[in-house]
Amino acid sequence: MFVIHVNYKKQLSEVDRFIPEHRAFLARHYAAGTFLLSGPQQPRTGGVIIARGCTRAVLEALLQEDPFHREGIADYVITEFLPNRSAPDLAHFIELQA
């Protein structure tokens, strides 16, 4: 699994212009089962995405599709982790590591 920190490099007025395209990008990857959670950071300096079911190389390639990347609006910090515990409600979404 991966935690992706999306860090804005431009003003929110520029970010907001591309929110509809960004949400369409997210929707495609939710439909594919790659993204599990996403949302803005508070305060609104970027966002966070939780992803699964792919390699880091595949994830890096699909993040290139994000309009925030294309327009130079955000940088991404990807952290891979191996979950070994979860709340019971999340267990069917996550393959836990021994």
Each residue's pLDDT tens digit, 5-26:
999 999 999 999 999 999 999 9
Query: If you average pLDDT over residues 30-43, what whole number do you get?
Result: 95
Amino acid 90: pLDDT = 75
Residue 31 has pLDDT above 80, yes or no: yes
Amino acid 73: pLDDT = 97
d(CA 37, CA 30): 9
What are the structural domain ranges in the chain?
A: 2-84
Put simply, whether the predicted model's pTM sits higher than 0.75 gets the answer yes
Structure tokens at 8: 């804005």
| 2-84 CATH choice from 3.40.50.300, 3.30.43.10, 3.30.70.1060, 3.40.50.20 | 3.30.70.1060
